[in-house]
Amino acid sequence: MRVTIFGSGYVGLVQAAVFAEAGHQVCCVDIDQHRVDKLNQGNIPIFEPGLEDLVVRNIDQQRLMFTTDSTQGVEFADILFIAVGTPSNPDGSADLSAVRAVATTIGQQMASDKIVVNKSTVPVGTADEVAAIIAGELERRADEHLQIDVASNPEFLKEGAAVSDCRSPDRIIIGATVASTLATLRELYAPFCRQRDKIITMDRRSAELTKYAANCMLATKISFINEMAKMAEKMGADIEQVRRGIGSDPRIGYHFIYPGLGFGGSCFPKDIDAMLSMANTFQVDNYLLEAVKTTNAQQKKSLVNKVVARYGNDLRGKTFAIWGLAFKPNTDDIREAPSRVTINALVSMGARVQGFDPKAGKATAQVYRNVEQVLICNSKEEAIEGCDALLICTEWEAFRAPDFSHLKQSLGEPVIFDGRNLYEREQLQRYGFEYYCIGRSAIV
């Protein structure tokens, strides 16, 4: 089948590559000429395991192309995906300007019947708005005879596992009620349903709400376990044992109940803000999500609070190493990352910071390019040299089994603040470290 995807960002690029790998012909439209030129050369602007190979292979096999020509994109296919960004406005609501711009373009340029599929994360009712925008453009052109149907098809990709999620999804939500649209989208997604039918159909508004509800539920689990971790520290309990105890209940499960520094990235914080904005619009109280948001903001300060408790709030003359800058492993995304809250707080109290991340170093160095107290290093060993203590903000595999003897020799003092509970307390005690973690009593 022939598919056009508007937007070559995280969602659009992954979906385009996976559709092409399945055998579909895919045209990806983006307004950034530099980005399009790079993509056509096989240069990927983001780090996502397995994505570069898919893009390069499908460009070579002429199943995937990138262009800035929206007219070409509209003409290329009868199935048009909208996968553009919907960042937060200052009031927390979703910025739909890019979605509206694509809808306007489609309405102005379509010359045959189209199915428009909204892949972007959007507030409830956006599919209705997109349909109205396109219909309005057709009316102005006196082309009301052209048929358009708008479907909602939210994405459920995890950064760091997006390619595998897209190639083998848990479910495929399609919000549409027109039989011909459902039949076409079932055919499009058939390669991903060979083992079982993963398609769940519903109305458009329910599909739009499903996306937000899923992310808000996962964020709630994270904030819940972090609240329990704070209680465990005060009560002398071990949150890791508590986690295993409650996770063994199949009604709860182990997913998303790992205590740490809270959630970041481009999805959970933005989607909670958007959900709260929608609740306000529809005059619905949502005390739970307000609490989730507050808990997460406080949790990102956990390591800084422990540092202050240990050293005081005047950190002049101190240098701290930070391992892990991305908001999670297997990505270079530092949006809403706990590391940034930690770095900003340490610098504000006079400290210097030496950071390292296997993939997010470049992005972090760009953010702090004008902050002389922040140095982004090329290795975890370089980052700890001459530092007073080590802080761990991201649970990369490369940090799980360090040479503790070398670590102890390199640090000015044998002190670790572990925001991801990577290590066993008994192990650190044997090596003679002071060890501060989340939801467990410290070793001092």
**pLDDT tens track for 40-50:** 998 999 999 99
What local confidence, expressed as pLDDT, does residue 145 receive?
Answer: 85
Amino acid letter, residue 188: L
Question: Over the stretch 244-272, which tens digit does the pLDDT of each residue have?
Answer: 999 999 999 999 999 999 999 989 999 99
373: pLDDT confidence band, cut at 50, 70 and 90? very high
Backbone angles phi, psi at 244, to 5 degrees: -65, -35
Alpha helices in 156-203 (DSSP H): 162-167, 179-189
- 3-class DSSP assignment, residue 152: strand
The residue annotated as part of the active site, out of 27, 28, 166, 267, is 267
What local confidence, expressed as pLDDT, does residue 164 receive?
Answer: 95
Question: Over the stretch 111-131, which tens digit does the pLDDT of each residue have?
Answer: 999 999 999 999 999 999 999
What local confidence, expressed as pLDDT, does residue 128 receive?
Answer: 97
Residue 403 CA, chain-centre distance (Å), reads 31
What local confidence, expressed as pLDDT, does residue 143 receive?
Answer: 72
Question: Over the stretch 176-226, which tens digit does the pLDDT of each residue have?
Answer: 999 999 999 999 999 999 999 999 999 999 999 999 999 999 999 999 999
Mean predicted confidence (pLDDT) in 348-372: 97
Amino acid letter, residue 72: Q
What local confidence, expressed as pLDDT, does residue 141 receive?
Answer: 85
Q: Are 50 and 163 in contact (CB under 8 A)?
A: yes
Please tell me the distance from the alpha carbon of residue 177 to that of residue 438, in angstroms, as a whole number: 48
Catalytic-residue membership of 267: yes
What local confidence, expressed as pLDDT, does residue 323 receive?
Answer: 98
Mean predicted confidence (pLDDT) in 280-287: 95
Question: Over the stretch 150-169, which tens digit does the pLDDT of each residue have?
Answer: 999 999 999 999 999 999 99
Mean predicted confidence (pLDDT) in 339-361: 98
User: Residue 4 above 80 pLDDT?
Assistant: yes
Beta carbons within 8 Å of 380's beta carbon, 6+ residues apart = 323, 356, 398, 399, 402
CB atoms within 10 A of CB 182: 16
- Taking alpha carbons only, the member of 188, 186, 206 closest to residue 197 is 186
Mean predicted confidence (pLDDT) in 303-311: 98
